[in-house]
Structure formats: C-alpha cells, structure tokens
Structure 1
C-alpha cells in the first residue's frame, strides 16, 4: 500500500525531472554531428560552410579549442555552419579520408572544396579567420 509521503515524493520527482528536461535547449544548427561518410557527403552536397573538428577527449589543445569554437559558432555569421566531429582515437578511416594526422585539427570547407585547415591553434582570432574562409 502506498503512503501519501511516497506519492508526494513521486510527484515532486516527476515535476523536477520535467523542469530539468524542459531547460535543456533543443538541438540547433550549430550543434556538432559525428563524422560519417554519409554526413560528410550530405554536408558537402548542401553547399554551405562546413567545419570538421578532429578531437580527442584527452587532448588539452582540443579542450582549449572547444569554448572558442562554441563562442564563434554562436555568432550569427556562423549560424548555418555544419560541424562534424571526428574522434581521433576511434575514427582512423575518417582521419585517412581527411588526411588529418593529429588531433586538434580544424578543417573548413565551402561546399565541396576544402578552403583551410589548422593544427593546434588556440588563438580566437586565428580560429575565427579560419572559419570565415568557409563563408
């Protein structure tokens, strides 16, 4: 038999869980997508700006790039940029496809064509200049 206290605790938990889920923002165009052959082909076919981010969770340079990229991707001029992430440790085929030899590599495309890349750059201005090449 359920007690009032148990029922009340269940209602409180459900209300809090709902509030937390509603606070999570919906996915936006600036969210990154895992790199696959299909996602890369679709992004290129779309013809817009593309950023391919080669990253590793253990890489301090990658961790330094993340807040900069997040800030830049929130800017209106980069709102339509497709961002594809490559895990350096587990996506060796993608690394070969992209000719990326190290983590913290950023590659930008304008449609089908690669227009720039950088390795190990953590300076905001340089990263913004790189991303702007894809516009």
Structure 2
C-alpha cells in the first residue's frame, strides 16, 4: 500500500512538472512571421500566401513550424509569404478563416483558398502544400 501511494505521488509530480513546462518548451519554436492586419493586407495584395494557425503548447505545431521554416529556405519559396497566428489570443481569426483546430495550414493562390490541412509534420507533405501557393 505504501509503495503504490508513493508511486502514485511520484507519477503525479512528474506529470505536473512536465505539463507545467510544455508551453515554455514550445514557445521558442513558433517563429514564423506573425499575422497582423497590415501583413495580411500585403499578402492578399500579392495574391498567393499561406496562413498557419498554431497554439502554444501544441506538440504537432512544435514539429510543424520548424519543417515549414526549413522548407521556406528552398529557393522556390523565396518569395512566398507565410503568416502564423496564435489561435488562443486571436479567436476572431479562427472565426474569420473558419479554423477549428491548431496546426492548420491554409494555402491561397491568386487570392483564392486552394487548400486546407491539419496536422501535417512530414517535410514532403508540407512542401507539397506550400507548392500549391506558387
């Protein structure tokens, strides 16, 4: 009985410490250019761009964003505008763009939405999505 209580207490402590540190661990990985009304207006004027909806602490987002950043280093994406917004603080954008979950990638080409995906983390799949804007 003593052992099982001690084990339960240890597990509870580990879980609490792990989840308490998740937002800080993921905060630094979400570093695409942030959405703003001005940046979105410029992107719309260009016609082709990508909007990425993320959430701090999202494990999929923490994998997805570095892959997007890496993909954007390829020459074919040199002129592609990618904007990221935080779903927690920008709830009006969720409604405006019809986003219902984090790690959503919305691709616009010539001013029209051509693709919407959620949960992509594989480099080839993300590259395929970004190519749709070109």
Same fold (TM over 0.5): yes
Partner of 2:55: 56
Please give the residue correspondences for 1:34-49 in structure 2 after superposition, counting only pairs within 5 Å.
Answer: 34-47=34-47, 49=48
> What SS is found at the alignment partner of 2:121?
coil
Counterparts of residues 24-103 of structure 1 (less than 5 Å):
32-47=32-47, 49-103=48-102
How far residue 99 of structure 1 moved from its aligned partner, in angstroms, is: 0.6
Partner of 1:107 in structure 2? 106
The 8 Å contact of residues 108 and 114 in structure 1, kept in 2 or not, is answered as: yes
**Aligned length, in residue pairs:** 104
Gaps of 5+ in 1: 1-30
CA distance in 2, matches of 1:104, 1:46: 24
Relative to its length, the structure with more helix (as a share) is 2
Q: Secondary structure at the match of 1:129?
A: helix
Distance of 2:39 and 2:95 partners within structure 1: 16
TM-score (norm. length: structure 2): 0.72
Unaligned stretches of 5+ in structure 2? 1-30
Residue 3 of structure 2 aligns with which residue?
none
State the Cα RMSD in Å: 1.4
Shift in Å, 1:133: 0.6
TM superposition shift of 1:35: 1.6
Q: TM-score, normalised by structure 1?
A: 0.71
Deviation at 1:67, TM superposition (A): 1.6
In structure 2, distance between residues paired with 1:98 and 1:130: 17
SS of residue matched to 1:118: strand
